Structure 1
Amino acid sequence: MQKRRLGAHGPMVGAVALGTMNFVGTYGEADPDESLRCMAECLEIGIDHIDTSNVYGMGRAEELLARFLKDHRGRITLASKCGITRDPQRPFDNSADHMRQALEASLRRMGVDHIDLYYLHRHEVARPIEEVMQTLMRFRDEGKIGAIGLSEIAPSTLERALAVGPVAAVQSEYSLWSRQPELGILQACAREGAALVAFSPVGRGVFGAEAPDPAGFGDRDLRAGMPRFSPENWPHNLRHLHRFAEFARDHRESPASVAIAWVLARGDHVIALPGSRSIAHMRENARGAAIRLSPEQQDEIGRLLPPGWAHGARYGEAMSRGPQAYC
């Protein structure tokens, strides 16, 4: 596994990380033992950066992770997040009191005394980012977190945050079908020495060996409410995905591996963050870090999947309230 730096002064970690959101049923029922086996296998193949959040399963992902960290903490760069409440009346809370309560609860659930990288999961619009950074810097100075991250923010928010203190990483959805980071945050992170941690680089499974069937999504599957999977949009998207899958197989690679390789080729500061509880899928994802796409291959991918090719918005109305739009 190739290594990349997690922020200007951060540790070297695997270019492919592991997200834990679907360890707790976000895309359907999950088996905890299968998730634990997946984490152990990931560590053996060089995936040593694990990302979670206090709201994944309302803390259950962190509780499951504690079982793994008990024996492997020293080999893991651990990231978690705060700032989302799951309260419909106040979905985001960046107050110092709320963030401290969230941090202390995460530390208890995971059985650790510090978190290597701690993100603001979503920015509460009414609260200045400068105030939020001061809270995060207090956590850092207390030794409870190692580095500060921000998630789904605009370049302007990063600029203001950096005027207060260092930001090691920015997490944004980035894949061949979600390209907004190319309009500013990808470049801003490169300028400022921050890692861009690209979540859902396999497009929530659409670049898997077999594209998902939205008709089979259960009630708990997050994708069921996403416009790109709607009956109106999915058939159009599927045609593009089939062409990309043929390209990957013509090069004797899986679509997921090529999708990861494409994301990593966007810059040396980019880290891919897929989420899976399948060992086979994570091996495909890790394979992406070993693929070097030629300029000609990248051009061909660009013709198959040009910016803006996906039909439908990436989020529905409710989920679109948190990420910051900047173009």
Structure 2
Amino acid sequence: MSRPTRKIAGAEVSAMGVGAMSFAEFYGPTTEENSWAVLDAAMELGVTHIDTSNVYGMGRSEEAIGAYLRRNGAAREVFHIATKAGISKDAAGNRCFDNSPEHLEAELDRSLSRMGIEAVDLFYVHRREEARPIEEVTATLVALRDKGKIKGFGFSEIAPASLRRAAAVAPVAAVQSEYSLATRAPELGLVQECARQGTALVAFSPLGRAFLTDRPIEAERVPTLAWMKSNPRFLSPNYEANIAATDRFRALAADMGEPAAALAVAWLLAQGSQILPIPGTRSVAHFRECVRGTELALSTEDLARIEEALPVGWAHGDRYSVGQYVGPERYC
């Protein structure tokens, strides 16, 4: 069946993409073969947008994608591939951000080599380097496009004001931001600015890091996951409160006869034609649940029932810890 689409810099892509952070064991152990199975399912189901980064598993996600492309000759023509750069380490080994032309191009070249492709369809600055004007960084991205190494560019986790500044230099294809029923800050300016600029809003963690699914991460697994174990929403008593809150959403999805993940994806797609969710998963069955969300046409009544189950502001705990908030731009 044909699926709804979104536009990124003129390219027509599936309205839902694949978040490939899961290919690098962010949410638990996986194998390259398991990642290929998800990509096989994407090919079968018409999901064409693939999102990765140079830092996902320090290249492991890109390597899995590259191996898949080499094994499947037709895949490169099907997939619209996005990757990112800009996160680095200083001389002491501490995390920092580098948006210099030299760093971005060198990292892009490594990404292209890992994936075995000549150009990437979409290239993001993963995190802004605060001291470097975004206008200067945008000019760097335009130069990379002019060299033929990227077809479009964007930024991850920037504020609406920064998008306006960048777009004044050149059109910005996409902005990536966390957006879901659990994280609705983008509605305070970013959703609107992306619509004004003709910029795709690529929504990562659209399932609220599994809270908005039928199988949320179990409490006993949280301490084994490096990122989750320090995230406020997964710490007690917030974790228990968030499970209780999302039980209402799971009950609603069951009453509607749909997987909770499908309902979460469908809700996001209903928020604007510029919005493109990219759920990540290690499970083909779960991936199919997410794709089901692209097939749902939610009525006004459906949307009201979802809002009643999870009214804006329901989540307990901030979306990031203090350390996790280093890099993303806050604007509200």
Q: So what's the TM-score if we normalise by structure 2?
A: 0.95
Q: How many residues align?
A: 326
Q: Deviations over 1:299-320 (max 9, x none)?
A: 1211211111100011111111
Name the SS for the 2:84 alignment partner. strand
Name the residue aligned to 1:80.
83
Equivalent residues in 2 for 1:28-39 (5 A)?
28-39=28-39
Structure 2 residue aligned with 1:304: 309
User: Which stretch has the larger CA shift, 211-220 or 165-174?
Assistant: 211-220
1:88-122 C-alpha deviation (Å, 9 max, x unpaired): 53521111111111111111111110000000111
Match in the other structure for 2:54: 54
Per-residue Cα deviation, 1:55-103 (whole angstroms, up to 9, x for no partner): 0000111111101122211111010001111555352111111111111
How far 1:167 moved relative to its partner? 0.5
Determine whether 1:291 maps to 2:296: yes
**Letter of the 2:312 counterpart:** P
1:22 counterpart = 2:22? yes
User: Deviation per CA, 1:272-327, whole angstroms, max 9, x where unpaired?
Assistant: 11011211011000000111111111112112111111000111111111111001
Instruction: Please give the alpha-carbon distance, in whole angstroms, between the structure 2 residues aligned to 1:315 and 1:116.
Output: 29
Counterpart residue type for residue 178 of structure 1: T
User: Are the aligned partners of 1:228 and 1:234 in contact in 2 as well (CA < 8 Å)?
Assistant: yes
In 2: Cα distance, 1:218 partner to 1:118 partner: 33
Match for 1:162 among 142, 149, 167? 167
CA contact (8 A) 1:28 1:221 kept: no
1:21-170 pair list within 5 angstroms? 21-70=21-70, 71=72, 72-86=75-89, 89-170=94-175
Task: Name which of 323, 328, 332 aligns with 1:323.
Answer: 328
Once residues 95 and 263 of structure 2 are traced to their aligned partners in structure 1, the CA distance between those partners, rounded to angstroms, is 39
1:258: which partner in 2? 263
Tell me the distance in 1 between the aligned counterparts of 2:48 and 2:231: 30
Letter of the 2:286 counterpart: H
Q: CA deviation at 1:220?
A: 4.0
In 1, Cα distance between the equivalents of 2:319 and 2:50? 24
Unpaired segments ≥5 residues, structure 1: none
Amino acid at match of 1:295: T
**Contact 2:207–2:213 (CA under 8 A) maintained in structure 1:** yes
Q: Which residue of 2 aligns with 1:201?
A: 206
Partner Cα distance (1:86, 1:307) in 2? 37
Q: In the aligned structure 2, how far is the partner of 1:326 from the partner of 1:4?
A: 29
Structure 2 unaligned segments of length 5 or more: list them.
Answer: none
Q: Which amino acid aligns with 1:2?
A: R
Question: 1:5 deviation in Å?
Answer: 2.9
Structure 2 counterpart of 1:3: 4
Q: TM-score, normalised by structure 1?
A: 0.97
How many angstroms apart in 2 are the aligned matches of 1:112 and 1:86?
Answer: 26
Contact kept, 8 Å, 1:214 with 1:224, in 2: the verdict is no
Contact 1:23 1:61 survives alignment (8 Å):
yes
Any conservation in 1 of the 2:13–2:49 contact (CA below 8 Å)?
A: yes
CA displacement 1:215-270 (0-9 Å, x = unmatched): 21353442222100101211111111101100000000011000000000000111
Q: Which runs of 4+ in 1 moved over 2 A?
A: 1-7, 86-90, 217-222
Contact 2:18/2:279 (<8 A) preserved = yes
How many percent identity over aligned positions?
Answer: 46
SS in 1 for 2:268: helix
Higher relative contact order (CA 8 A, sep 6+): 1
Q: How big is each residue's C-alpha offset from its partner over 1:109-141, in whole Å with a ceiling of 9 and x where there is no partner?
A: 111100000001111111100110011110000
**1:219 matched residue in structure 2:** 224
Match of 1:177 among 153, 178, 182: 182
Q: Is the 8 A contact 1:170 1:195 kept in 2?
A: yes
Whether the 8 Å contact between 1:260 and 1:272 is mirrored in structure 2 is yes
Does the 8 Å contact 2:211/2:242 carry over to 1? no
